């Protein structure tokens, strides 16, 4: 009996182990593959272009690498690459002013989105369980319309003879129409509106999971509602706040469509500067250098975020 029973399982076990290891590898490889294909490869292509020179050709830069040319030629070409375009960026204050202005607009927008998004997410998380899916659907609903159309709609609302001015004039709040369209304020309104769901969703996910008994405990121990919120809810929702803020802040810094449609000639944002490098100057190398620097500017907060998440995870354990 024993012999019979022992002969087959080890075989099976071996079979299974052979299967298990590659499968596990494959599963862990997927995120790395994703990173390689959708981040690292494009990054190196753009980085390489940023070291090239402008040319009148298709594509409009030199050198273009062709793997069939042999190593000698490739090496020769690689030596022609230079960091001159990055030096150029430091020589003209336009770029730094654009980066700073983008960061400022994105930071203000993120703060406003947080101030609006937090109460919204809080109310959703505290709503009766049956209502929550509907409220969640309402937050996601705007995505069913094209982003572009929604930004265009804001032009109709914000312009001098638009909906907002007409309403305010009607109620006698103002006597002269306000100039909002084509200013930085319009850009901030557009960004807050467009990215608000990205603030609300992580906050909601966080607040909804929160153990309500903790608040009850705090109240039992003599906290007022406000104090309980600041001492319990707010710190516990910090990961949600951080996640939501980064989801708004990072795309807002590089935003192009909103400043282009709602902003004025004075609105300086890096997305627009990049556009004019690419389209008006036909200078793909400098445009790529601007993009690489933008990435570097954004990676710092992402790394900070990762660190924060890790610490939070460890603290939670």
Q: Which residues bind another protein (CB under 8 A)?
A: 54, 56-60, 92-94, 97, 148, 152, 155, 182, 264-268, 273, 276, 278-283
**CB of 264: closest distance to another protein in angstroms?**
8
- Comparing CB distances to another protein, the nearer of 27 and 56 is 56
- Comparing CB distances to another protein, the nearer of 95 and 118 is 95
- Comparing CB distances to another protein, the nearer of 49 and 242 is 49
- Comparing CB distances to another protein, the nearer of 194 and 273 is 273
- Comparing CB distances to another protein, the nearer of 108 and 155 is 155
Fill in the DSSP letter of residue 248: H
Neighbours of 161 (CB within 10 A): 9
The whole-angstrom separation of Cα 251 and Cα 270 is 12
The whole-angstrom separation of Cα 194 and Cα 46 is 28
The whole-angstrom separation of Cα 272 and Cα 285 is 16
- Comparing CB distances to another protein, the nearer of 159 and 308 is 159
The whole-angstrom separation of Cα 300 and Cα 216 is 39
**CB of 287: closest distance to another protein in angstroms?**
10
On whether the CB atoms of residues 204 and 121 are closer than 8 A, the answer is: yes
* Residue 306, helix vs strand vs coil: helix
**CB of 171: closest distance to another protein in angstroms?**
25
For residue 162 the two structure tokens come to 């638009």
**CB of 228: closest distance to another protein in angstroms?**
48
* Residue 238, helix vs strand vs coil: helix
> Which residues lie below 8 Å from residue 185, measured CB to CB, with a gap of 6+?
none
**CB of 280: closest distance to another protein in angstroms?**
5
**CB of 97: closest distance to another protein in angstroms?**
5
**CB of 155: closest distance to another protein in angstroms?**
6
Q: Give CA separation, 47 vs 11, 29, 132, 176, 224, in Å.
A: 51, 25, 45, 50, 55
> Which residues lie below 8 Å from residue 70, measured CB to CB, with a gap of 6+?
none
**CB of 123: closest distance to another protein in angstroms?**
35
- Comparing CB distances to another protein, the nearer of 64 and 74 is 64
Helices (H) and strands (E) in the chain, counts: 16, 2
- Comparing CB distances to another protein, the nearer of 56 and 129 is 56
Cα of 80 vs its chain's centroid, Å? 35
The whole-angstrom separation of Cα 259 and Cα 262 is 5
């Amino acid at each position: 009996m024993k012999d019979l029973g022992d002969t087959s399982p080890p075989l099976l076990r071996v079979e299974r182990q052979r299967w298990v290891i590659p499968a596990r590898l494959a599963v862990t490889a997927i995120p790395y593959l994703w990173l390689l294909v959708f981040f690292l490869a494009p990054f190196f292509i753009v980085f390489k272009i940023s070291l090239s020179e402008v040319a009148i050709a298709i594509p409009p830069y030199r050198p273009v690498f062709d793997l069939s040319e042999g190593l000698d030629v490739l090496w020769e070409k690689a030596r022609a690459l230079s960091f001159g375009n990055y030096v150029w960026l430091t020589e003209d204050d336009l770029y730094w002013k654009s980066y700073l202005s983008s960061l400022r607009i994105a930071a203000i927008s993120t703060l406003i989105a947080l101030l609006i998004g937090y109460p919204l997410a809080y109310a959703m998380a505290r709503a009766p369980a049956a209502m929550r899916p509907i409220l969640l659907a309402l937050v996601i609903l705007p995505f069913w319309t094209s982003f572009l159309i929604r930004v265009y709609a804001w032009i109709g609302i914000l312009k001098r003879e638009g909906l907002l001015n007409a309403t305010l004039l009607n109620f006698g709040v103002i006597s002269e129409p306000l100039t909002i369209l084509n200013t930085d304020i319009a850009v901030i309104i557009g960004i807050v509106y467009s990215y608000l769901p990205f603030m609300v969703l992580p906050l909601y996910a966080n607040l909804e999971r929160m153990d309500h008994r903790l608040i009850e405990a705090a109240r039992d121990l003599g906290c007022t509602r406000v104090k309980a919120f600041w001492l319990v809810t707010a710190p516990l929702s910090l990961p949600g706040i951080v996640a939501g803020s980064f989801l708004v802040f990072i795309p807002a810094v590089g935003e192009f469509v909103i400043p282009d449609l709602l902003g004025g000639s004075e609105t300086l944002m890096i997305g627009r500067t990049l556009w004019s490098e690419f389209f008006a100057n036909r200078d793909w190398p400098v445009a790529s250098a601007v993009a690489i620097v933008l990435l570097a500017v954004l990676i710092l907060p992402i790394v900070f975020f990762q660190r924060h998440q890790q610490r939070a995870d460890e603290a939670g354990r």
